[in-house]
Amino acid sequence: MKLSIRIIRDDEGNYVAMCPSLPGCQSRGRNREEAERSMEEAIRGYIAAVNNFVPEHVDHEVVAT
């Protein structure tokens, strides 16, 4: 499974990661790497909740903005 992740910086200097393909699936971090790592966990949780399936590995690409 390959999904695109968008990471932006908020007004407070933190990073927000979101996956446009999974409505409402987003995470935050103090830096890009932390936001990306927690986004992987959020994606796994999202897929598990919707499909009752937890993927072993999620491939993703970060879309820079």
Domains and CATH numbers, the chain: 2-64 (3.30.160.250)
The CA-to-CA distance between both ends of the chain, in Å, stands at 23
H helix runs in the chain, sequence order: 32-51
- Least Cα distance to 21 among 1, 41, 49, 48 occurs for 1
pLDDT of residue 64: 57
> For 2-58, what is each residue's pLDDT tens digit?
889 999 999 999 999 999 999 999 999 999 999 999 999 999 888 888 876 655 666
Report the pLDDT value the prediction gives residue 37, as an integer from 0 to 100.
93
The pTM for the full model equals: 0.72
